[in-house]
Structure 1
Amino acid sequence: MTDPLAALGFAQSRLLRHSSEQPDTAVPPHDAPGTRLVLMAGDAIVLRGSSALLTVADGARAEDRRMEERIFLGHVDGGPVFAAAAAPEAADAYAADAFRTLDLRTIATEGAVAAEELGVLATAKSMLGWHARNRFCANCGTPTLFRAGGFRRECPACAAHHFPRTDPVVIMLIRRGDRCLLGRGPHFKAGMYSCLAGFLEPGETIEAAVAREAFEETRVRVRSVTYHASQPWPFPASLMIGCTADALDEAIVTDPAELEDARWFDRAAVQAMLERRHPENLAAPPPMAIAHVLMRAFVEGRA
């Protein structure tokens, strides 16, 4: 039987991770033998063929001083891997030969790299984004220093340590008998419906967040919240926590600020959406999204 999570984007990784707990001596030189580099030029990742793990020589084409602050991600297949950010115009250096540049969402949707490499790219993008947003100390405002290969920033004035963060998001397949509740936001592609979702708030359990978000968006109350699977979502640095829950209500009252529409769909309709043959041209998110996994599990009686 095919693993239903095999197509889930960013969930697999070949990376043996570095961390802030390891000593500075664990960070190899940028030009150590076998070193690979994930390079972002603006919002795009540089690919060479079907891989984004560039050689040191490949990375040198960019000639961008921003790349001096390289994050040591860890090792892939025994070789060191770094991540670096360059200006958008650095992509011009990769407009020929075997190179091309794509944004990470397109890479995942098109399967432009191996599934095990997507997880490496998700780590790189999230870490680079965190550094870009945390140049100054949140405690005193002083410019922070790059430490632990990029897994920590330190304030030279107040000695505060700052670490990369992940923002948890609950995403839930809500059932009522043989039907499930799906909605669409104003920004969705035409005809696409997905599971309800929202950020988990401070001091809140996963179960409470599922119940709160479902009620806020549709006025549907739920119970029996169960964890199903999770997915890193590097836009910019979230963890999607996939759950299922049973609805206590049937009537839907949507908040226009949250949802454009929400409906109950039976299994046959959801299957048609997954297979892109729905008579109203309604569709599900692509297989790389955890909403697709939850919807397929519902159709197959696994959720």
Structure 2
Amino acid sequence: MPPAYVLNRLDRRANDRSRPDWIAELRQHPEARLVRISGEATLMQHGQLVTTWSDAEDASVFLGLDAEGRPWFACQTAETPDLRDLRSLALEEALPPEELGILAQARSILQWHDRRRYCSNCAGRLEIADAGYRRHCPGCGMNHFPRTDPVVIMVVRHARGILLGRQAAWKPGMYSALAGFVEPGETIEDAARREVFEEAGVRVGSVRYVSSQPWPFPSNLMIGLVGEALSQEITRDAAELEDARWFSREETLLMLARRHPDGLYAANPYAIAHELITAAITDWPT
């Protein structure tokens, strides 16, 4: 099972989103689908997404076409008892992976609209354009586009083990990869080295890419890496981490299987950190 939110089979048809007539025609499609988002939750009934179209609702964003040619849209919805949190849906594997990917796309773009109603250049009211993928300011002519914030997340290896940490807010016993935002003018590799040194005081040399994961909280791209440590001593930043330590390969396998004698466990399988930990120990040097 891949990490959550990774699979999304929709054809986004980015080159056609600027055609209002084409989008209007899709809105009239007899099998059009509509995803409803409220904060970090989506509307579900009887264990399934509520995707049937309602003439009373405004589909503000076009998501794409599925394999059957049905158009998918997204809109905001009011809070109701039938809302389910996107994180819980991923953790419980309550939906097919492809539907979780659609929800990630919908949640990310809709939260951007919530935060981008006025022009940052002239403070004028923005208009929605390109089926939801652009906001235009009629006052100064400036265009605004959805943003995705890159985050590096890395498991660091050394002869003595792999470096994992935990934050105080996490559930007791859970350890995960270290992570942080890429800063302006910074490479992915340097961002990972900086974050590990800032949080744990460990120097990192070579870095290799493993995979990525959209993370719609609110709209991040997790860039998964494995790095090789140049130093061993840990100097923990107490403001960032409650604990950081080296775990042996044997301990790590027990944590992945949730059989560690001290009740410690690795990040949940729906998170990319779980995949990175597995990747780091799969080709462990012998």
Same fold (TM over 0.5): yes
CA distance in 2, matches of 1:17, 1:117: 14
Aligned residue among 27, 50, 53 for 1:30: 27
CA distance in 2, matches of 1:83, 1:22: 14
CA distance in 1, matches of 2:211, 2:284: 12
Query: Following TM superposition, by how much is the alpha carbon of 1:26 offset from its aligned partner in structure 2, in angstroms?
Result: 3.2
Aligned residue among 179, 183, 196 for 2:161: 179
Where does residue 36 of structure 2 map in the other structure? 39
Query: Following TM superposition, by how much is the alpha carbon of 1:19 offset from its aligned partner in structure 2, in angstroms?
Result: 2.7
CA distance in 2, matches of 1:112, 1:29: 29
Secondary structure of the residue aligned to 1:16 is: coil
Q: Give aligned pairs, total.
A: 282
Secondary structure of the residue aligned to 2:253 is: helix
Where does residue 189 of structure 1 map in the other structure? 171
Corresponding position: 1:85 with 2:76:
yes
Aligned residue among 189, 195, 208 for 1:226: 208
CA distance in 1, matches of 2:30, 2:218: 31
Query: Following TM superposition, by how much is the alpha carbon of 1:33 offset from its aligned partner in structure 2, in angstroms?
Result: 1.4
CA distance in 2, matches of 1:152, 1:104: 25
Change (3 A) 1:54 1:302: farther
Change (3 A) 1:21 1:165: farther
Query: Following TM superposition, by how much is the alpha carbon of 1:302 offset from its aligned partner in structure 2, in angstroms?
Result: 6.7
Where does residue 169 of structure 1 map in the other structure? 151
Corresponding position: 1:244 with 2:226:
yes
* Alignment deviations for residues 248-298 of structure 1 (CA, whole Å, 9 cap, x no partner): 111101111111110000111111111111111111111110000011122
Corresponding position: 1:71 with 2:66:
no
CA contact (8 A) 2:16 2:22 kept: no
* Alignment deviations for residues 149-199 of structure 1 (CA, whole Å, 9 cap, x no partner): 001000010010001110000000100025100000121111110000000
Q: Which amino acid aligns with 1:32?
A: H
Matching of residues 110-129 of structure 1 within 5 Å: 110-129=92-111
Where does residue 9 of structure 2 map in the other structure? 14
Aligned residue among 70, 87, 94 for 1:105: 87
Of 194-203 and 170-179, deviating more is 170-179
Unaligned 5+ runs, structure 2: none
Q: Which amino acid aligns with 2:14?
A: S
CA contact (8 A) 2:40 2:217 kept: no
CA distance in 2, matches of 1:138, 1:268: 52
Quote the RMSD (CA, aligned, Å). 1.7
Query: Following TM superposition, by how much is the alpha carbon of 1:31 offset from its aligned partner in structure 2, in angstroms?
Result: 3.6
Q: Which amino acid aligns with 1:211?
A: R
Query: Following TM superposition, by how much is the alpha carbon of 1:18 offset from its aligned partner in structure 2, in angstroms?
Result: 3.6
CA contact (8 A) 1:20 1:151 kept: no
CA contact (8 A) 2:38 2:77 kept: yes
Where does residue 97 of structure 1 map in the other structure? none
Q: Which amino acid aligns with 2:34?
A: L
Unaligned 5+ runs, structure 1: 1-5, 93-99
Identity of aligned residues (%): 46
CA contact (8 A) 2:18 2:129 kept: no
Change (3 A) 1:162 1:240: same
